[in-house]
């Protein structure tokens, strides 16, 4: 009897710890070996005319509150250079790039995974695997009109969790589809691939060379003081 009581004494905390771990998941970003060091560049320091509309620095997002302390966008240098090239090309047509998101600390990816419904999981990254945003190799963007300062029409809104967000969605107006396809063609011609679920999300080719980071904006080397 004594042995059984001793067993139960240690079993209860073990069960609690297992349940706690399942409920809250991992608490740190996955570690990967032989990856490149972070070389995160602030986009507007490369070109001040790039427009920022960082939804996660506002309450206008699916979480319903700001999750970034500042409205800023960073990318690994090759990705940043590619975005700037697309922006300059669009400038010739009276258009420009509007950035919705760039580098995203891993802790924010974990938050997203915890707040979305199960049927929305395909729109967010599993923190156990990390996100290409966490690597500084993914960018969410659209196109805006230089004269009006407004985003040009697309088949869906940014971060809309519907089929309209797919880059292959066949609905919408001819103008919306042409705008979406123009963005895709330009980004793919400058070293990116498109996310299969989101017309606005592009990943740098070679993203797997970079580690998963959980660096706060304030700790990035070229951040504002």
Rounded CA-CA distance 106/214 in Å is: 5
The span from the CA of 106 to the CA of 211, in Å, is: 11
Domain range annotation of the chain: 2-219
The dihedral of CA 114, 117, 122, 123: what is its sign?
Answer: negative
pLDDT at 25: 60
User: Quick one: pLDDT at residue 224?
Assistant: 47
CA dist., res. 167 & res. 185, Å (int): 11
Pairing status of strand 74-76 against strand 138-145: unpaired
Q: CA 151 to CA 99: how far, in whole Å?
A: 10
For the stretch 22-69, pLDDT in tens is: 334 667 777 777 788 889 999 999 999 999 999 999 999 999 999 999
Residue 89 has a pLDDT of 98
Which regions of 54-196 does DSSP assign to beta strands (E)?
74-76, 95-101, 138-145, 192-195
pLDDT score for 22 = 38
The matching CATH number, chosen from 3.30.360.10, 3.40.50.1950, 3.30.1380.10, 3.40.50.720, for 2-219 is 3.30.1380.10
Query: Using CA atoms, how far apart are residues 189 and 4, in angstroms rounded to an integer?
Result: 68
Residues in the chain: 225
At residue 143, the pLDDT reads: 98
Q: Which two tokens stand for residue 62?
A: 């699916």
Q: How many CB atoms lie within 10 A of CB 99?
A: 23
**Nearest alpha carbon to residue 110 among 31, 197, 26, 54:** 26
pLDDT 10s digits, 88-115 = 999 999 999 999 999 999 999 999 999 8
Give which of 67, 63, 87 is closest to 75, Cα–Cα. Answer: 87
Average pLDDT over residues 156-175: 96
Distance CA 202, CA 187 (A): 7
Whole-number pLDDT of residue 222: 56
Q: Which long-range contacts (CB under 8 A, 24 or more apart) does 111-114 make?
A: 111/63, 111/67, 112/63, 113/25, 114/25
So what's the pLDDT on residue 38? 84
Full-prediction pTM beyond 0.75? yes
- The conformational region for residue 143 under phi > 0 = left, psi -120 to 50 = alpha, else beta, is beta
CA atoms within 13 A on the CB side of 214: 14
Residue 2 has pLDDT above 50, yes or no: no
**Of 181, 139, 134, which Cα lies nearest the Cα of 52?**
139
Q: Is the pLDDT of residue 121 over 90?
A: no
Whole-angstrom distance, CA of residue 166 vs CA of residue 151: 18
């Amino acid at each position: 009897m004594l042995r059984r009581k001793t067993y139960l004494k240690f079993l209860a905390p073990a069960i609690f710890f297992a349940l706690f771990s399942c409920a809250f998941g991992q608490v740190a970003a996955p570690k990967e070996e032989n990856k490149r060091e972070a070389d995160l560049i602030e986009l507007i320091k490369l070109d001040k005319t790039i427009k920022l509309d960082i939804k996660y620095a506002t309450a206008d997002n699916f979480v319903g509150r700001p999750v970034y302390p500042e409205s800023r966008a960073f990318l690994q240098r090759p990705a940043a250079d590619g975005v700037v090239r697309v922006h300059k090309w669009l400038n010739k047509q009276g258009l420009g790039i509007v950035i919705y998101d760039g580098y995203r600390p891993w802790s924010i990816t974990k938050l997203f995974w915890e707040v979305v419904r199960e049927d929305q999981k395909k729109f967010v990254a599993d923190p156990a695997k990390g996100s290409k945003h966490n690597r500084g190799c993914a960018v969410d963007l659209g196109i805006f009109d230089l004269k009006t300062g407004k985003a040009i029409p697309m088949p869906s809104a940014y971060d809309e969790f519907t089929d309209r967000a797919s880059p292959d969605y066949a609905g919408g107006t001819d103008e919306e589809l042409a705008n979406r396809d123009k963005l895709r063609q330009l980004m793919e011609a400058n070293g990116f691939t498109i996310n299969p679920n989101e017309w606005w999300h592009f990943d740098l080719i070679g993203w797997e060379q970079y580690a998963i980071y959980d660096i706060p904006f304030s700790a990035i080397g070229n951040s504002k003081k």
